[in-house]
């Protein structure tokens, strides 16, 4: 059960203390407090965990400071959509809105290699009106002898250049909780000119200790990739691990499933799950066409498979696109063969705009009386 308190509740006040006193006396129920900091107000939600079936909604609603009460179903207690649940979807981060109602594009380098390539990428993004990007510093690789990413060494120039080119959010994978501190320190040292969305990759989607530690911090939002060989339910539970520890600022990313049924694509594209995730949870949904398709092959119509697949995600209502670009793919140290070229960026963005417009029209049509 979730108690949603009146906005900006005074947690030092007598009323709040009275509420907490009542809750702590409930048998076999313990409470966990979540604060959701929005642009205008702070919302406090109290999750009642344990034997809540005998509690009445009316009794709970009558408690001091309580504005609304939601009885949650068993699954996805924090992130799920529950009956009579009008809580907002999404969040703001560093001036960018992430919700189930909008779309952000994160085009950038799979792996940071040189400052020159980072700068060329970011300049192209600014020229095309983009304020988000992807930049991989810590790379989880199948082969221990492959390039593992520049790690913390590259963070100062990545963050400084992001500031120079007006980048507000960088999606950056972390593979260990220490990387969060390295990122935080590097951001501070470079004057907090940009923001970071911590990416948890498909290989770590069931690294529960990593999920818990990233969930315990509230500073950075999280982009959680779906596990490539587990069910959707298992991956949504991974997201719930993050949220249950206190960080509900999560974007869920579909990136294809590992199966040779997807051949000749790198993974079997699973973007039909965009509306499913939006129905089951309040998370914005991202699609990653690059790691799904894994090549620059194109169809006879002249469109790259990466663009076709992006369109399939966007027409289904995706809220974010994470896509690999590179100024010189032949020189890329990771995933060059699937990278789009900087000269393809304007067309890629226009293609997305066309498809998003079609999606908006489909929604309007569906809502017509
Ligand atoms: C990536 O986005 O760079 C990546 C490694 O993706 P995934 O975890 O989906 O394989
Ligand atoms: Mn990659």
pLDDT for 172-210, tens place per residue?
Answer: 999 999 999 999 999 999 999 999 999 999 999 999 999
Rounded to 5 degrees, what are φ and ψ at 101? -110, 0
Spell out the residues 6+ positions from residue 233 whose beta carbon is closer than 8 angstroms to its own: 75
Spell out the residues 6+ positions from residue 51 whose beta carbon is closer than 8 angstroms to its own: 27, 28, 29
Q: Compute, in angstroms, the gap from residue 123 CA to the centroid of ligand 2.
A: 21
Residue 86 pLDDT exceeds 80: no
Return the domain boundaries, the chain. 2-88, 103-366
Q: Is 266 in the pocket of ligand 1 (CB under 6 A)?
A: no
Spell out the residues 6+ positions from residue 82 whose beta carbon is closer than 8 angstroms to its own: 2, 70, 71, 72, 73
Q: Is 291 in the pocket of ligand 1 (CB under 6 A)?
A: yes
Rounded to 5 degrees, what are φ and ψ at 123? -65, -45
Question: Do 224 and 284 meet the contact criterion of CB atoms below 8 Å apart?
Answer: no
Q: What is the pLDDT of residue 166?
A: 98
Q: Is 110 in the pocket of ligand 1 (CB under 6 A)?
A: yes
Residue 357 pLDDT exceeds 90: yes
Looking at the DSSP assignment, which residues form a beta bridge with residue 108? 324
Out of 3.90.70.10, 3.30.70.1140, 3.20.20.70, 3.40.50.800, select the CATH number for domain 2-88.
3.30.70.1140
Q: Is 226 in the pocket of ligand 1 (CB under 6 A)?
A: no
Q: What is the pLDDT of residue 354?
A: 98
For a pocket test of ligand 1, which of 108, 149, 173 has the largest count of ligand atoms closer than 8 A to its C-beta?
173
CATH number of the domain at 103-366, please? 3.20.20.70
- The pLDDT tens digits for 216-266 are 999 999 999 999 999 999 999 999 999 999 999 999 999 999 999 999 999
For the chain, how long is the longest CA-to-CA vector?
Answer: 70
Closest CA to 104 of 267, 186, 221: 221
- The pLDDT tens digits for 272-319 are 999 999 999 999 999 999 999 999 999 999 999 999 999 999 999 999
pTM of the entire structure?
0.92
DSSP class of residue 227? P
| Ion ligand 2 — residues with CB < 5 Å | 110, 335
Q: Is 225 in the pocket of ligand 1 (CB under 6 A)?
A: yes
Closest CA to 246 of 277, 221, 281, 278: 221
For a pocket test of ligand 1, which of 210, 255, 257 has the largest count of ligand atoms closer than 8 A to its C-beta?
255
Looking at the DSSP assignment, which residues form a beta bridge with residue 49? 30
Q: What is the rounded (10 degree) CA torsion for 229, 240, 141, 349?
A: 90
Question: Do 320 and 103 meet the contact criterion of CB atoms below 8 Å apart?
Answer: yes
């Amino acid at each position: 059960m979730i108690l949603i308190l009146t906005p900006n509740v005074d947690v030092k006040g007598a009323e709040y203390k009275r509420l907490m006193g009542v809750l702590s006396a409930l048998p076999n129920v313990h409470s966990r407090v979540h604060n959701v900091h929005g642009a205008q107000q702070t919302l406090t939600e109290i999750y009642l965990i344990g034997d809540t079936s005998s509690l009445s909604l009316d009794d709970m609603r009558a408690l001091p400071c309580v504005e609304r009460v939601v009885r949650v179903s068993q699954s996805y207690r924090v992130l799920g959509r529950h009956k009579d649940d009008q809580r907002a979807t999404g969040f703001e981060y560093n001036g960018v809105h992430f919700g189930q109602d909008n779309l952000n594009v994160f085009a950038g380098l799979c792996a940071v290699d040189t400052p020159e390539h980072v700068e060329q990428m970011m300049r192209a993004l600014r020229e095309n009106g983009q304020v988000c990007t992807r930049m991989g510093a810590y790379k989880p690789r199948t082969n221990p002898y492959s390039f593992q990413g520049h790690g913390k060494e590259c963070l100062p120039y990545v963050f400084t250049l992001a500031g120079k080119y007006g980048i507000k959010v960088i999606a950056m994978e972390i593979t260990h909780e220490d990387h969060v501190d390295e990122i935080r320190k590097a951001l501070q040292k470079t004057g907090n000119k940009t923001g970071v969305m911590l990416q948890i990759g498909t290989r770590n989607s069931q690294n529960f200790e990593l999920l818990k530690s990233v969930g315990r911090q509230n500073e950075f939002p999280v982009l959680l990739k779906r596990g490539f060989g587990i069910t959707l339910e298992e991956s949504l539970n991974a997201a719930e691990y993050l949220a249950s520890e206190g960080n509900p600022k999560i974007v869920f990313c579909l990136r294809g499933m590992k199966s040779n049924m997807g051949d000749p694509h790198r993974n079997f594209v699973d973007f039909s799950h965009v509306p499913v995730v939006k129905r089951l949870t309040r998370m914005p949904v991202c699609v990653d066409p690059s790691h799904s398709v894994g090549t620059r092959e194109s169809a006879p119509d002249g469109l790259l498979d990466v663009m076709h697949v992006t369109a399939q995600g966007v027409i289904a209502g995706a809220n974010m696109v994470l896509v690999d670009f590179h100024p010189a793919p032949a020189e890329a140290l990771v995933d060059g063969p699937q990278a789009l070229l900087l000269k393809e960026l304007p067309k890629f963005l226009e293609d997305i705009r066309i498809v998003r417009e079609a999606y908006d029209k489909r929604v309007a049509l569906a809502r017509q009386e």
